[in-house]
Structure 1
Amino acid sequence: MQLQFLGTGAGTPSRERNVTSIVLDLQGVRNATWLFDCGEGTQHQILRTPIKPGKIEKIFITHLHGDHIFGLPGLLTSRSMNGSGDPLTLYGPAGIKTFVETAISLSGSWLTFPLEIVEITAGEVCNDEQFRVTAYPLTHPVECYGYRIDEHDKPGALNAEKLAADNVPAGPYFYDLKHGRSVTLDDGRVINGWDYVGDKIPGRSLAIFGDTAPTERATELAAGVDVMVHEATLEVAMEEKANSRGHSTTAQAAKVAQESGAKRLIITHLSSRYLRADCERLLKECQAIFPHTEMAHDFAVFNL
């Protein structure tokens, strides 16, 4: 799987950073992508990547501030104009349904694909054969959530030596054995798959925060994740200003990663006051607390 950042700025676009949007490419798991937030200009950013809008399966919105949702109507209608018929599910706080339906209606637009809009609250958002997504409330002037994505554990490998020792011939029932099911062999024996399967392979985990000031729920959201994505809107010296507006500093993001036991931190959502020349200094503020910190830039790709 990969994370690709389409926009890494806060509030307004700048020459160096567009506003927030992140793509989770599920390559290696299934042929689909998920989008987290959709700020203005997101579809223009997509045009500069290999991402195909028709392959976007789900969109998760953290909150309804414009720099996180103003790109939605354009992306959805362009997806239709390109002829996509694949269904798409949109998740977001209360009001997201009214926003999207009003924009489409008043602009005389239409959709060629089934769109399901789910207005979320804290708790499980969706759960399928491969992933579970949970929303956690954050601290921001408007209702805002962070999303935790947990990949389900995968079955361990079949023990070929034990199968051979027990004279279990190869066959299509190996699929059932690998998933722990009981099967009946041609000679009448009934065997239990769990007797031949190794330890489960732990799934990967990811926490994507929306905008937030420090909050008690942060460490629960990011507990033990492989990758944590957190805003770092302002530098350490501007903590009071950041927190008063529902945002975090570099050091506060790093502290969450440290306290939650995250393995890796990627910071994003930087104020437009910062230029590329400032980035090394901001990154070092994080790394002084949590060394495994990286900074996202527009179009940066991170492997999970």
Structure 2
Amino acid sequence: MELYFLGTNAGIPSLQRNVTSSALRLLEERGTIWLFDCGEGTQHQILRSPLKLSKLEFIFITHLHGDHIFGLPGLLSSRGAQGATTPVTIFGPEGIQSFVETSLELSQSRVNYPLEIKEHRGGLLFEDETFKVEAARLEHRVDSYGYRVTEKDRPGSLDLERLESFGLKPGPLYGRLKRGESVEMQDGQMLHSSDVLMSPKKGRVVTILGDTRPCEQVVPLAADADLLVHEATFMNELEDTAHEYYHSTAGQAAKAASEANARQLLLTHFSSRYKDAEHLQPLLNQARDVFPNTRLAEDFALYPIHRRE
């Protein structure tokens, strides 16, 4: 599980950064990628990245401001033109279906693969045997949502030394024990999976927020997250400006990470006034004063999400 950033700027693109989009790479877990927001130029960013549109499974839209959705029509139509046939599902606020369908219809764009659009107002959006995705509304000028992706715990690895001590050789019985079943050995005794399975592998939690002012919904969404992605449009000195425009400062993002007991904080959605890494360094310092394990998201940067021991 890795998070790859395709754009980290707020509002409009700059020479240094594109507008908002990030991809959760689940190649080992599902063989797919999940996209979060799709600002203008996202498909161009993907062309310069190791990502493949054919692997796209879900798109999660936080809100309907242009710097988060203007790249959708082009990306969807290009995916079809490249020959992708697997389904794509878009999750987003009310209005996302009208935007996508109208854009594709008026431009006479063809999508030759199953495309489903699910509008929501938060809550549980998706769940299967491996992952769960929940959403909650934040505080912005329009309905804006944060997403919490929870990977479910996985069974521990087989203890090969203990298996050998029971006289078992690799084969079908290994698979049954791995699945939690009990098996009968040659001497008639029952061997239970709990006897030979090591500790379960703890699932990871990633929380990716849309644009927001500080609000009470952030902490539950980010509680004990292994990675929190939080906007930090402004430095602390512009807290009044951030409040007026429904955004957050670096210090406010760090406070949220601390209160949520997150493991790592990634800041993104930077105002264009902070032109490069040098201008962003004070913003990073302000966040680290509150939450030391903070990093700045960068376009074309990959951030692994490590499993807890």
Q: TM-score, normalised by structure 1?
A: 0.95
Alignment root-mean-square deviation, CA = 1.5
Map Cα deviations across residues 73-123 of structure 1 (whole Å, 9 max, x no partner). 000001111111111111111111111111111111111110111112221
Q: Which is worse superposed, 24-33 or 49-58?
A: 24-33
Residue of structure 2 in register with 1:235 after alignment: 235
User: 3-state DSSP class of the match of 1:68?
Assistant: helix
Map Cα deviations across residues 20-72 of structure 1 (whole Å, 9 max, x no partner). 00011113323211110000111111111121111111111111111100100
- Residue 174 of structure 1 deviates from its aligned partner by 1.2
Is contact 1:178-1:194 (8 Å) kept? no
Residue of structure 1 in register with 2:122 after alignment: 122
Question: Are residues 97 and 168 of structure 1, via their aligned partners in 2, closer, same or farther at CA, if it must alter by over 3 Å?
Answer: same
User: How many aligned positions are there?
Assistant: 304
Q: Which is worse superposed, 172-181 or 98-107?
A: 172-181
Residue of structure 2 in register with 1:288 after alignment: 289
User: Residue type of the partner of 1:36?
Assistant: F
Provide structure 1 residue ranges, at least 5 long, that are not aligned to the other structure.
Answer: none
User: Residue type of the partner of 2:302?
Assistant: V
Cα distance between partner residues in 1 of 2:84 and 2:101:
18
User: 3-state DSSP class of the match of 2:172?
Assistant: coil
Question: Are residues 189 and 171 of structure 1, via their aligned partners in 2, closer, same or farther at CA, if it must alter by over 3 Å?
Answer: farther
Residue of structure 1 in register with 2:23 after alignment: 23
User: 3-state DSSP class of the match of 2:292?
Assistant: coil
Q: Is residue 84 from structure 1 mapped to residue 84 from structure 2 by the alignment? A: yes
Question: Are residues 164 and 50 of structure 1, via their aligned partners in 2, closer, same or farther at CA, if it must alter by over 3 Å?
Answer: closer
Question: Are residues 184 and 118 of structure 1, via their aligned partners in 2, closer, same or farther at CA, if it must alter by over 3 Å?
Answer: farther
User: Matches of residues 1-304 of structure 1 in structure 2 within 5 Å?
Assistant: 1-185=1-185, 189-276=189-276, 277-304=278-305
Provide structure 2 residue ranges, at least 5 long, that are not aligned to the other structure.
Answer: none
Cα distance between partner residues in 2 of 1:206 and 1:193:
30
Is contact 1:182-1:192 (8 Å) kept? yes
- Residue 244 of structure 1 deviates from its aligned partner by 2.0
- Residue 7 of structure 1 deviates from its aligned partner by 0.6
Cα distance between partner residues in 2 of 1:25 and 1:92:
20
Give the fraction of aligned pairs with identical amino acids, expressed as a percent. 50
Cα distance between partner residues in 2 of 1:225 and 1:281:
25
Cα distance between partner residues in 2 of 1:157 and 1:26:
20
- Residue 185 of structure 1 deviates from its aligned partner by 4.8
Cα distance between partner residues in 1 of 2:120 and 2:197:
38
Q: TM-score, normalised by structure 2?
A: 0.94
User: Residue type of the partner of 2:19?
Assistant: V
Cα distance between partner residues in 2 of 1:107 and 1:169:
61
Map Cα deviations across residues 146-201 of structure 1 (whole Å, 9 max, x no partner). 11111111111223343334444432121221121233456655443233212111
User: 3-state DSSP class of the match of 1:10?
Assistant: coil
- Residue 295 of structure 1 deviates from its aligned partner by 0.5
Q: Which is worse superposed, 130-139 or 190-199?
A: 190-199
Is contact 1:6-1:23 (8 Å) kept? yes
Cα distance between partner residues in 2 of 1:32 and 1:134:
19
Q: Which is worse superposed, 237-246 or 73-82?
A: 237-246
Q: Which is worse superposed, 182-191 or 126-135?
A: 182-191
